[in-house]
């Protein structure tokens, strides 16, 4: 399993936990890391994305809501909305990750943690969001800033 793939799985689990049981991010991370082992670079990637999502959560939720026609974010499945938050954060704030990689990983995670319908749902919303970006879909864009 790639380092970033494992990191994304951890991020979804961390976001799920915070969504259902709000707690200070550092406390959540410290508790999570006592139960999980992995390379330092994977943990660093997961922490960067997790903390970034929490910092930008209100903005991400508004963006998701505007892309999810006829769906309120609080009515979405917990897995779906947290996969969407993570992926949207990557799309908007991680120009070093190609958008198609982010979307593919998010769809796979939605299917893995939820079901195939979740994968289709996540793909549709993220594809709409990707079309609003002003950067290449298939390559990293290290010159892009939001």
Nearest to 10 by CA among 25, 34, 41, 32: 32
CA pair distance 29, 103, nearest whole angstrom: 25
Q: pTM (2 decimals)?
A: 0.90
pLDDT tens for the chain, 146 residues: list them: 568 999 999 999 999 999 999 999 999 999 999 998 889 999 999 999 999 999 999 999 999 988 887 888 988 999 999 999 999 999 999 999 999 999 999 999 999 999 888 999 999 999 988 888 776 556 665 554 44
Question: In the CATH scheme, what architecture does the domain 3-130 have?
Answer: Orthogonal Bundle (1.10)
- Domain boundaries along the sequence of the chain: 3-130
CA pair distance 101, 14, nearest whole angstrom: 21
CA pair distance 43, 3, nearest whole angstrom: 9
In the block, tokens 């290449």 appear at 136
């Amino acid at each position: 399993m790639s380092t970033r793939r494992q990191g994304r799985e951890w991020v979804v689990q961390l976001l799920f936990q915070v969504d259902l049981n709000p707690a200070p991010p550092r406390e959540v991370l410290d508790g999570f890391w006592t139960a999980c082992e992995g390379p330092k670079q994977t943990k660093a990637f997961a922490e960067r994305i997790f903390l970034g999502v929490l910092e930008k959560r209100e903005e991400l939720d508004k963006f998701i809501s505007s892309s999810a026609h006829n769906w309120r974010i609080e009515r979405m499945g917990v897995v779906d909305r947290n996969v969407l938050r993570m992926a949207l954060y990557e799309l908007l704030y991680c120009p070093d990750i190609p958008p198609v990689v982010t979307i593919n990983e998010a769809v796979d995670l939605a299917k893995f943690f939820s079901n195939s319908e979740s994968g289709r749902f996540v793909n549709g919303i993220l594809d709409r969001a990707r079309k609003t970006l002003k950067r290449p879909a298939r390559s990293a864009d290290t010159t892009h800033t939001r």
